[in-house]
Amino acid sequence: MRFWAGVTDNRWFEYVSRRQFDEVNFWQPSAKAPFSNLPAGTPFLFKLKKPNNCIAGGGYFVRYTRLPLLLAWDTFTERNGASSLREFRELIKSNSSGEFGPDPDIGCTVVTNAFFLPREKWISVDALFPKNIMQGKTYDTSLANGSAIWAALQVARIDSGVAEETLAWGPERFGKAFLMRARLGQGSFRTLVIDAYQKRCAITGESTLPVLEAAHIKPYAEEGPHLTSNGLLLRSDFHKLFDAGLVTVEPDHTIRISSRIRDQYFNGKAYYRLHGQKLALIPEDSLDHPSAEYLRWHNNERFAE
């Protein structure tokens, strides 16, 4: 089995570990991915910078994406490892080299099922992690260094009372199978939906990212899951109309606009021209398509003709 050990900002770790967040954004100032072809479900360990140089926790990789700094804050808030947008920006700036604009794209690695070892159980990797590596390194448990780190981690977790991940280790543990079974949070959901819809509104095709929002088809508060198939990426006004039951999407991806917009607000021409049309965009992967089951729920339980 392979796992990733990512070089971790000590201040970031101190903040998220103190709050014991279950899901975190392991960001980097550069928008260039530090790894390639890392499947969802891969163990992702937090390797602290010197003087600590220890494995101090980890979780499971969900997705890497690029987001503008402001959107990353809106998506993950304190799970970015900072108490405010200002602090978050300063943290990134202090780790950045070169020019730093008002809203730069940053790399966002979503990690779920996060765990944090108590300091006395941190695992020293002085002899196992090359000092010249600045971002992270892949290890294989079939090789000596990977096996040593993984074995030490299991002992540290047991001794610390940290619950082990219950998903089985095997082919079904990674990729889409992991995303269907893992305990995903709001940040994971938003990131997955943004990427699945290629950063474009499903209804209009709009690609101005600051006004696009990940909408649950069946609300999470009503047992709708954090799955891409239960999501639509919508322009903010369509998101509000969708949640209010004034817009819906049929299982065949036909858009319907409620007559209540005209009757109550005496307007809506910009919306009615889309009535009866198909979605402007659906995800390439059929597993990410909006679920017919959830769309029928919205048609029947939310939409008002």
Taking only the tens place, the pLDDT of each residue in 287-300 is: 999 999 999 999 99
10: which 2 tokens?
A: 């000590």
> Do 127 and 207 share a domain, yes or no?
no
Of residues 117 and 99, the one with the higher pLDDT is 117
Is 189 among the domain residues?
no
> Do 41 and 98 share a domain, yes or no?
yes
The percent of residues in the chain predicted with pLDDT above 90, rounded, is 78
For the cut 60, the answer to whether the pLDDT of residue 303 exceeds it is yes
pLDDT digits (tens, 9 = 90+) for 45-88: 999 998 889 999 999 999 999 999 999 999 999 999 999 999 99
> Do 166 and 212 share a domain, yes or no?
no
> Do 124 and 223 share a domain, yes or no?
no
The percent of residues in the chain predicted with pLDDT above 70, rounded, is 97
Domain count, the chain: 2
Is 138 among the domain residues?
yes
Task: Report the distance separating Cα 141 and Cα 90, nearest Å.
Answer: 37
Contact 231, 179 (CB under 8 A): no
Q: Which residue do the tokens 């101190």 mark?
A: 14
53: which 2 tokens?
A: 């140089």
What's the confidence (pLDDT) of residue 34? 86
Quick check: helix, strand or coil at residue 173? helix
For 63, the enclosing helix (H) or strand (E) is strand 54-68
For the cut 70, the answer to whether the pLDDT of residue 271 exceeds it is yes
Radius of gyration, CA atoms only, the chain: 21
What's the confidence (pLDDT) of residue 109? 97
What's the confidence (pLDDT) of residue 182? 83
> Do 108 and 220 share a domain, yes or no?
no
> Do 146 and 220 share a domain, yes or no?
no
What's the confidence (pLDDT) of residue 172? 61
Task: Report the distance separating Cα 68 and Cα 72, nearest Å.
Answer: 6
Alpha helices in 20-84 (DSSP H): 69-76
Q: What is the mean pLDDT of the chain?
A: 92
Residue 155 belongs to a domain with what CATH number?
A: 2.30.130.30
CA-wise closest residue to 271 among 257, 281, 259:
257
